[in-house]
Structure 1
């Protein structure tokens, strides 16, 4: 087997794609995941090639044992999903903060040389510069809004990675993925929920224009990045990036939410009657990463939004009975 990597949260969406890529590239991979939110079926194609440690990411001693002999720990474990930020902020914070401390301490004890940590664009929330570079100030707009439980936990995670761990690792890197999407990402994110809503609404209207409610007027913009490109970015960063560096990984193809809904309807051959609604509290008007720092390492996203949506929609149509919902985003 090749170089050993440990991926926490390897049963999650990005984590599973990363694990499969590492295995296919010849790495010796250990996954740390209780599969409470992760899904072991995501790893079915490489199950015989992966060691699975089913432990809580806050269990430092179990992590230390699992980390021994690893060249790098890639820490992706977290409680993600906007619905969880609002409904389970205590758990989001607990797993985020105590998990980061446990991972850093376990890696130090086990003598792991390299640490890669997943952060989020939520650490800067509403940027004053768009496209947004890595040097943007980190902000917590409102500590009373549970939405920021995730962003707040990731701000602290970055501080832990760069300061608490700075004297104990050969290389520490943080990446901030931006609006990742793709097949099998779950049902609590904007693109799968839009797909599910289009399926349900179309079925209920028998071919007529399908009512399709969105939050706000649809003018908010995002820059969606297909998951394979995110994984390529993580590995490019690890191979070529520096110590104590932050990298924005994503796509800079910016699109409005209204246009996203329209493209999903076109790809599904469903005529949508898009209807504006109340905006989400704490929402961000624009989000698009500046990826020039990654481009200097040789990274370039390859999957444009239309192709990525087609690949994602195909998977969700095949699995539509698992999670079709009419809940508003």
Structure 2
């Protein structure tokens, strides 16, 4: 990506990390966000070094205004967080589909030929193989399950970006993040919830083994990607990703959720007895990406979950007052 870059969703967790990196590299950056879920505090360290356009990604005029005068667009604006998939599926889809249409229309109207889209590992749901390459089929297993509002919206975004990209863009590239985590990532995700629940349990039970209820058996797996490693991967896609290329960004370290809970307990100096529970419909038994395509571009994740978790947990314990009530 060259020239001035528009980052949609630039005050979100991932968006702000991308903006901070781009500004540190000396790039000209414009941010579009309505701060409905983003937080300007995430960009405090680069205040005055980027241009801010406040607006809703669903507003065509706002997107067109933000797109004017840039050379490339990194489209991140979306509603993330598992809680929202179930509680506000119509909002998830509205932001996904209207946002993608508006970005494509604004790019074409303003002559912006370079577009990089953030998709998700949720597009393939329960993968047929693990580690999972980019070539597996995409799926919405049950349209009546509100969880699939997120993955379904991302599938629509990928299809639109690829098919408009064939004729109307110089380059469209897509990356699929896999469980990116880090300080100030939001409150509706498994790691923040584990940390804050553990902190409460430790405070209420100063001694002994901590009984820690979870969803599912605990054998379900995920691969967690430290935000700094993720940004490295996203920058490679932005700079080296091929036209209509799709790239998984993640880590090869696959961990059972029960082991994640025990690791959180270890951070607090406690032994954890995991108490299995019911897995919500639509939960995926295993997820770990094949990152060979991105490794071929130079990607090399450096931070394991055991290394990243302490800084992550310390931020959440210190900043729990920021949690929405």
TM range (shorter): over 0.9
Q: Distance in 1 between matches of 2:20 and 2:322?
A: 23
Aligned to 1:159: 159
Change (3 A) 1:139 1:82: same
Q: Distance in 1 between matches of 2:185 and 2:43?
A: 13
Aligned to 2:111: 111
Aligned to 1:27: 27
Q: Distance in 2 between matches of 1:3 and 1:44?
A: 23
Aligned to 1:173: 173
Runs ≥4 residues deviating over 4 A: none
Residue deviations 1:258-295 (CA, integer Å, cap 9, x gap):
01111111122133232111112111000000000000
| Count of residue correspondences | 324
Aligned to 1:316: 316
Is residue 190 of structure 2 the alignment partner of residue 190 of structure 1?
Answer: yes
Mean CA deviation greater in 298-307 or 311-320: 311-320
Q: Which residues of 2 match residues 27-176 of structure 1 at below 5 A?
A: 27-176=27-176
Q: Which residues of 2 match residues 215-230 of structure 1 at below 5 A?
A: 215-230=215-230
Mean CA deviation greater in 108-117 or 57-66: 57-66
Residue deviations 1:136-161 (CA, integer Å, cap 9, x gap):
10011000000000100000000110
Asked whether the 8 Å contact 1:268–1:313 carries over to 2, the reply is no
Mean CA deviation greater in 295-304 or 58-67: 58-67
Asked whether the 8 Å contact 1:182–1:226 carries over to 2, the reply is yes
Q: Distance in 2 between matches of 1:10 and 1:207?
A: 43
Mean CA deviation greater in 314-323 or 262-271: 314-323
Q: Which residues of 2 match residues 275-290 of structure 1 at below 5 A?
A: 275-290=275-290
Deviation at 1:179, TM superposition (A): 0.6
Deviation at 1:63, TM superposition (A): 1.4
Aligned to 1:210: 210
Asked whether the 8 Å contact 1:196–1:324 carries over to 2, the reply is no
Q: Distance in 2 between matches of 1:78 and 1:130?
A: 26
Q: SS at the partner of 2:47?
A: helix
Q: Distance in 2 between matches of 1:119 and 1:108?
A: 20
Asked whether the 8 Å contact 1:175–1:247 carries over to 2, the reply is yes
Deviation at 1:67, TM superposition (A): 1.1
Residue deviations 1:57-95 (CA, integer Å, cap 9, x gap):
012222122112212100000011110000000000011
**TM-score, L = length of structure 1:** 0.96
Deviation at 1:324, TM superposition (A): 9.8
Q: Which residues of 2 match residues 282-301 of structure 1 at below 5 A?
A: 282-301=282-301
Which structure 1 residue ranges, 5 or more long, are not aligned? none
Aligned to 1:253: 253
Q: SS at the partner of 2:106?
A: helix
Asked whether the 8 Å contact 2:165–2:244 carries over to 1, the reply is no
Q: Distance in 1 between matches of 2:292 and 2:188?
A: 30
Structure 1 vs Structure 2 CA RMSD? 1.4
